[in-house]
Structure 1
Amino acid sequence: MYTRSLGKTGIEVAEIGCGAWAIGGDAWGPVDDKQSLRAMEEAVACGVTFIDTADVYGDGRSEKLVAQLIQGKRSKLVISTKGGLLGHHRNPNGAAVYDRPDKVIEAFENSLKRLGTDYIDVYFCHLWWDKHEETEAFMAAFDRLKQDGKVRAVGVSTENLDYIKHFNRDGGLDAVQLDYSILNRSTEQEVLPYLQQQGIGVVVRGPLRMGLLTGKFHAGTEFAEGDIRRFWPHEAWYAQDLAKVDALKSLANENRALSQVALRFVLNHPAVSVAIPGAKTAKQAASNALASTRPLLSADDARRIDQL
């Protein structure tokens, strides 16, 4: 597994990480905790060092599973978690929830307890809207957590450039987590160039477009109850993206699966530090990790992707 620097933080990470949203069990259909743990263990055995979770994933279930994973190997792993959505998830009335730094720090401390650790490598603000009082509360809390040595780096999860610049107004933003894939390239225009210029680490979520870029879905695919993708087949964009994915399958061969092509695509961008595909099974985790050693995309591959 090849490694990269997480921006200017000094933190080295394997370029393929592990996203732990699905294993929370509340958004991607049913999951089995033992299988989820085996998937993460396989990822680590294949060289993955960056594990990303959040307090809202399964209302803490994901963080607790990550806690089991890191026992005995905490110092070898880079753990990222996020705060800011759980309060809104529980109180979805539109009002500010994290309006004071102490509320952010309380959420952070609760994550620490669930993760069974005394520090977090990267702590992200999970909000994507700009509630002024919450933004300021997170920024003040970030400063305090850094000073106390409880976090090594701080970031925000968003594709909104104005929001990113606001968080980085004093140059203190270390990382940004954003949605980027072959099927979603909007951040290439302004966001990724800005992050690269500022030396801000880039953590790519959604590199497989929530499973679409594995090539396993089709018009008749039925998603399980409780899966946020359940209503995709009723959306016009879904058929369009399925057609694009079918065309992209020509880039796969015996040496690389379509999912590995998709991961190589995001890793080809010079701003990217790590891609964090999810995995429910050990087989999926191993396949994701192998993308690091698969051949780089050729100029012809890149042209084909651009054409599609």
Structure 2
Amino acid sequence: MHHRQLGRTGIEVSEIGFGAWAIGGDAWGPVEDAASIRAMERALELGVNFIDTADVYGNGHSETLVAQVIKNRRDQIVVASKGGLMGHHRDPKREPVYDRPEKIISAFEDSLRRLDTDYIDVYFDHIWWNNPRETEAFLTAFAQLKQEGRVRAVGVSTDDFAYVQHFNQDGTLDVVQLDYSLLNRKAEQHILPYCLEQGIGVVVRGPLRMGMLTGKFTAETRFPEGDVRHGWPQEDWYQTQLDQVQQLGVLTSQERSMGQLALRFVLNHPAVSVAIPGGKTPEQVEQNVVASTRPLLDEKDAQHIETVTAGTRA
């Protein structure tokens, strides 16, 4: 496993991390806690040291599972969590929810209890819209938490460049978490160059496009009720992306699967610190983690990728 610096934070992270959204059990179809624990354990065995979760994943359940894995080796693992969506998730009509620093700190402390730890390495604002009151409340709360030593780095999870700039108004933004993949290259326009220039670490969510870039989906694939992908087959873009994946398939081989190609692509960008694909089973984790040592993209690969996916920057 190769490691990278998380921006200017001084934190070293494995370039493949573990995304813990799916193990929350409420958004990605059936999942068993025992399998989730085994998946995370296997990730750590293979050199992963970065786990990303959030209070809203399974209404806190993901954090409680992460707690079981980091116990007795807390100092060896970089734990990232997020706050800011829980209140909106429960009652989206009640606005604003995180308009005062004390509300954010209370949510942070709830995460500490579920994670059974006294600090979080990277804590993200999980609200992607630019609500001035909530943004300022997060900035104030984050400054306090850093001063108290309860967080090592702070960030924002968003795909909105204006929000990134606003959040970094005083130069204290450490990390950005964003959606970036072969099928969504919008971040290349503004956010990734900005983060590289500012020394801001980048955590990539969605590097496998929620499974699309594993190459296992077809026009006949159906997703169960409760899965965030349930309505995908009815969307106009679904067949388009299936076709793009098929065209990218010529770059795969016995040494590099479709998913590993997708992970190598996002890791190829110099601004990226760590990619966080999810994994419900040890087998899925093994496929993800090995991407760290799979062949790099060459010029021929890059040319074909550009031909197939250039339009996804729009």
Q: TM-score range by the shorter chain?
A: over 0.9
* 1:38 and 2:38 correspond: yes
Q: TM-score, normalised by structure 2?
A: 0.97
In the alignment, which residue of structure 1 is the partner of 2:112?
112
After TM superposition, give the deviation of residue 8 of structure 1 in Å: 0.1
Residue correspondence of structure 1 range 86-97 to structure 2 within 5 A: 86-97=86-97
In the alignment, which residue of structure 2 is the partner of 1:181?
181
In the alignment, which residue of structure 2 is the partner of 1:151?
151
In the alignment, which residue of structure 2 is the partner of 1:298?
298
- AA partner of residue 260 (structure 2): Q
In the alignment, which residue of structure 1 is the partner of 2:252?
252
Residue correspondence of structure 1 range 1-308 to structure 2 within 5 A: 1-308=1-308
Distance in 2 (alpha carbons) for counterparts of 1:97 and 1:181? 31
- AA partner of residue 278 (structure 1): G
- AA partner of residue 75 (structure 2): S
State the secondary structure of the residue aligned to 2:209. Answer: coil
Distance in 2 (alpha carbons) for counterparts of 1:51 and 1:62? 11
Q: Deviations over 1:38-96 (max 9, x none)?
A: 01111111100000000000000000000001011110000000000001111110510
- AA partner of residue 267 (structure 1): L
Distance in 2 (alpha carbons) for counterparts of 1:190 and 1:53? 26
Distance in 1 (alpha carbons) for counterparts of 2:94 and 2:129? 11
After TM superposition, give the deviation of residue 170 of structure 1 in Å: 0.7
State the secondary structure of the residue aligned to 1:121. Answer: strand
Distance in 2 (alpha carbons) for counterparts of 1:88 and 1:114? 20
State the secondary structure of the residue aligned to 1:211. Answer: helix
In the alignment, which residue of structure 1 is the partner of 2:311?
none
Distance in 1 (alpha carbons) for counterparts of 2:194 and 2:102? 31
Deviating beyond 3 angstroms after TM superposition, the runs of 4 or more aligned structure 1 residues are: none
Distance in 2 (alpha carbons) for counterparts of 1:39 and 1:84? 27
Distance in 1 (alpha carbons) for counterparts of 2:257 and 2:43? 17
Distance in 2 (alpha carbons) for counterparts of 1:302 and 1:78? 32
After TM superposition, give the deviation of residue 193 of structure 1 in Å: 0.3
- AA partner of residue 286 (structure 1): E
Distance in 2 (alpha carbons) for counterparts of 1:293 and 1:74? 26
Distance in 2 (alpha carbons) for counterparts of 1:256 and 1:187? 25
Percent of counterpart pairs with the same letter?
64
Number of positions where the alignment pairs a residue of Structure 1 with one of Structure 2: 308
Distance in 1 (alpha carbons) for counterparts of 2:237 and 2:194? 29
Distance in 2 (alpha carbons) for counterparts of 1:296 and 1:61? 36
State the secondary structure of the residue aligned to 2:210. Answer: coil
- AA partner of residue 291 (structure 2): A
Q: TM-score, normalised by structure 1?
A: 0.99
Distance in 1 (alpha carbons) for counterparts of 2:85 and 2:77? 24
Q: Give the alignment's Cα RMSD to 1 decimal.
A: 0.6
Distance in 1 (alpha carbons) for counterparts of 2:221 and 2:10? 43
After TM superposition, give the deviation of residue 224 of structure 1 in Å: 1.2
Which piece of structure 1 moves more, 6-15 or 159-168? 159-168
Distance in 2 (alpha carbons) for counterparts of 1:53 and 1:251? 32
Gaps (5+ residues) in structure 2? 309-314
Distance in 1 (alpha carbons) for counterparts of 2:92 and 2:166? 25
Distance in 1 (alpha carbons) for counterparts of 2:259 and 2:96? 39
